[in-house]
Amino acid sequence: MEVSDQLLVEAAKIYKVLGNVNRIKILRFLERHEADVTAIVSHVQLPQPQVSHQLAILFQYQLVSKTKRGKHVYYCLDDPHILEMVDAMIGHVAHEIKHEPHHD
């Protein structure tokens, strides 16, 4: 498959967004739960302003979506495929840490 430079640049932007452990924690939590900021703060144990900042970045790159209900905004994972990438990287790192060979 031929890949354009523009597509590579856009993919690199997503990898940069995923280069933050707190964003990965938020995405993994949202895989199983639709949640408001308060629930996310409680789960990831970060200050509310920091969680809100990370959610804004994830929303900007269309990795999460949000729905307002009453006074609360609920976030959910917008693209489950993104966690397949994260899980693949975690699997790669786990093999590296254990000095195990990689399998296809």
Cα–Cα distance measured from residue 58 to residue 75, given in angstroms and rounded to the nearest whole number: 10
- Residue 73's pLDDT is what? 95
Check if the beta carbon of residue 38 is closer than 8 Å to that of residue 52.
no
Rounded to 10 deg, the angle between the 81-98 and 21-32 helix axes is 120
**By CB neighbour count within 10 A (0-12 exposed, 13-18 middle, 19+ buried), where does 58 fall?**
buried
- Quote the pTM value: 0.84
DSSP helix/strand/coil, 85: helix
pLDDT digits (tens, 9 = 90+) for 18-77: 999 999 999 999 998 899 999 999 999 999 999 999 999 999 999 999 999 999 999 999
Structural domains in the chain, sorted by start = 5-78 (1.10.10.10)
- Residue 25's pLDDT is what? 95
Cα–Cα distance measured from residue 90 to residue 92, given in angstroms and rounded to the nearest whole number: 5
Q: Which amino acid, one-letter code, is at 94?
A: A
